[in-house]
Chain A
Amino acid sequence: MERRIGMEASIAMAEAVGLCDADVVSAYPITPQTHIVEHLSELVANGELDANFVPVESEHSAMSVCCGSSAAGARTYTATSSQGLALMHEILFIAPALRLPIVMAVANRSLSGPISIWNDHSDIMAERDIGWIQVFVENAQEAIDLTIWSFRIAEDKRVSLPTIVNFDGFILSHMIEPVLMPDREQVQDFLPPFEPLQRLDIDNPVSMGPVGIPDVYTEAKYVQHKLLTDAYGPIVETFGELEKHFGRKYRPVETYRADDADVLLLTMGALGETAMTAVDERRKRGQKVGLIKLRLFRPFPYKDLLNAIGDKPVLGVMDRAVSFGGPVGPVASEVKAALFSARKHPLVPEFIVGLGGRDTSIADFHSIFDDLFEAAERDTTPDPRFVGLRE
């Protein structure tokens, strides 16, 4: 049976990994780490989790260990954030290329400089194209559910790709929230034992990760693109399985009071919760605002997004990272790319919010909604706005 308890989101994720019976956890244990691996090391040390905990000297080494252990057929987990994720960069590409279903939590945080490891999405937006499945969660319950789900989808033999659970650093990772923690039996019913597509095995030797000469590389990259794109089907299917087992529903794109809305706002991650409160306040004033929440970032859910937007005239997009000298908001740039194929598309005002730990208040959301209504009235797209910028 599920237990209803109050728990920090990071600890809850670690507990979920424990329930999934991870075989190997490898991580760099100090800043910018979270309590996830700290708690996992305790579970292993206390004998509550029969896993090999490998503390290493850098995140580059952590991801290298993860690739090796996953290749050997071990259910493998790690967590990082900020500069740590950046330090993993070159190894992150190896895992999907070798079809290694590693699961990783990224507590999204900023990148230096100036030196900062506070909350925003700079770290993961810089790793957009690593070829992993990526989801974003809003609260501790979603963090638990989608951590358990991540092992299921990553290890699905049709997929066999590594998966990242993105959860906002500090504003979610360090928050204590009420959660329903499933028991081991429930998790085992949902998550079958890990059977790798192939493994390092002295009786059936394979060379994993060999040179890809020009005659092979293009085909290899096409396979990766196709696998990640085609993972969409199994993702939706396993979201359905998750709902059957745990009673909570997840979709690639989720909406809140969007059906009859006059203007829409798109968010990704924990700020979606504050946004819902702001939407409710506007609705009380009789103003029809709605919310689109991007749950699945890779593979990008083009059709779901276009369906959710429908024929609404204005779609504000919130970004928590900057693509300097380029499209400004990385998420907005992808949303606009998705809309390019639509016959009719809305105005897409862009908002850069909550960089490097700057709080985003309900008042900030109201100022964004004001901009959206003004854009609708004038029928013009304003320049991207850095919300709360002192001028």
Chain B
Amino acid sequence: MKYQNPKPKWSELETGTAILTPGSARATHTGEWRSSRPVWNDEHCVQCGVCVIFCPEGCIAFQADGYPKADLDYCKGCGICVQECPTTSIAMQDEEE
């Protein structure tokens, strides 16, 4: 899918900066803002899905092995999943580590 130029010249902006191509948010990797990432301990995880539901970005999904993980292209590192996990299976890890 072709998205609008992320760094357009002024003369290339659409009328009123409208977006003409659906799904353009997908091209903006908001995960670049993150300073720390959620890390799952699958030994404690009971696959309840609370993190999937609470993630404000909707970027946590069950993987093929049945355990949830975050899509790091879009995870902003807010830590809500860590806060909500009933089995304390998720921890935040600094991106610098």
Q: List residues of A whose CB falls within 8 A of some B CB.
A: 97-100, 160, 197-198, 205-210, 212-213, 215-216, 219-220, 222-223, 226
**Which residues of the other chain, B, contact A212 by a CB distance below 8 angstroms?**
17
Contact across chains for B13 and A210 when beta carbons are under 8 A apart: no
B6, B15, B19, B20 interface centre (most CB from chain A within 10 Å): B15
In the docked arrangement, what's the CA distance between A173 and B28, Å?
A: 50
- Asked whether B7 is an interface residue with its Cβ less than 8 Å from the other chain, the reply is yes
A207 touches B18 (CB 8 A): yes
- Contact among B7, B9, B16, B22 with A97 in the assembled complex (CB-CB below 8 Å): B16
Are B10 and A219 in contact, with the CB atoms below 8 A? yes
Task: Please give, as numbers and ranges, the residues of chain A lying within 8 Å of B9 by CB-CB distance.
Answer: 219
The 10 closest A-B pairs by CB, nearest first: A207-B19, A219-B10, A98-B16, A99-B16, A206-B18, A222-B10, A220-B17, A215-B7, A197-B15, A208-B18
Bound complex: CA A210 to CA B19 (Å): 7
Q: Judging by beta carbons under 8 Å apart, are B13 and A219 in contact?
A: yes
A210 CA to B9 CA, complexed, in Å: 17
Q: Is B66 an interface residue (CB 8 A)?
A: no
Specify which chain B residues have a CB less than 8 angstroms from the CB of A160 in the assembled complex: 15
With A215-B7, A219-B10, A222-B10 as known contacts, state yes or no: A97 contacts B17, CB within 8 Å: yes
Q: Name the interface residues of B1-53: CB closer than 8 Å to any CB of A.
A: 6-10, 13, 15-20, 22, 24, 28
Which one, A99, A197, A205, A209, contacts B22 given CB within 8 A? A205
**Which chain B residues lie closer than 8 Å to A216 at the CB level?**
8, 13, 17
- Taking the closest CB of chain B, its distance from the CB of A328, in whole angstroms, is 36
Q: How many A-B residue pairs have CB under 8 A?
A: 46
Distance in angstroms between the alpha carbons of A215 and B13 in the assembled complex = 12
A212 to B24, CA, bound (A): 13
Across the interface, name the chain B residue whose C-beta is closest to A96.
B16
- Rounded to whole Å, the gap between the CB of A198 and the closest CB of chain B is 5
With a cutoff of 8 Å between Cβ atoms, the chain A residues found around residue B19 in the complex are: 206-207, 210
User: In the complex the two chains form, is B13's CB within 8 Å of A223's CB?
Assistant: yes
Main secondary structure of the interface of A (DSSP, over half): loop
- Give chain B's interface residue range (CB within 8 Å of chain A): 10 to 19
20 pairs, A vs B, C-beta closer than 8 Å: A97-B16, A98-B16, A98-B17, A98-B18, A99-B16, A197-B15, A198-B15, A198-B16, A206-B18, A207-B24, A208-B16, A208-B18, A210-B17, A210-B18, A212-B17, A216-B8, A219-B10, A220-B17, A222-B10, A223-B10
Picked from A206, A215, A222, the residue with its CB within 8 Å of the CB of B6 is A215
Instruction: For the complex, give the distance between the alpha carbons of A318 and B78 in Å.
Output: 55
Instruction: Name which residue of chain A comes closest to B20, CB basis.
Output: A206
Residue numbers in A under 8 Å from B8 (CB-CB): 216, 219
CA distance A206 to B15 in the complex (A): 11
Most buried by B among A98, A99, A212, A216: A216
With A198-B16, A223-B10 known, 8 other A-B pairs at CB within 8 A are: A98-B16, A205-B22, A208-B16, A213-B28, A219-B10, A220-B17, A223-B13, A226-B10
- Measured CA separation A205–B24 after assembly (Å): 13
Please name the residue on chain A nearest to B8 by beta carbon: A219
- Which chain B residue has the least Cβ–Cβ distance from A95? B16
Q: How far does the alpha carbon of A99 sit from the alpha carbon of B13 in the complex, in Å?
A: 13
User: A205-B22, A206-B20 known; A99 and B15 CB under 8 Å?
Assistant: yes
Q: Which residues of B contact A100 (CB under 8 A)?
A: 16
CA distance A220 to B13 in the complex (A): 7
Could you tell me the distance in whole angstroms from the C-beta of A223 to the nearest C-beta in chain B? 5
A222 to B10, CA, bound (A): 7
**Cα distance A160–B18 in the bound complex, in angstroms:** 14
CB distance from A111 to the nearest CB of B (A): 30
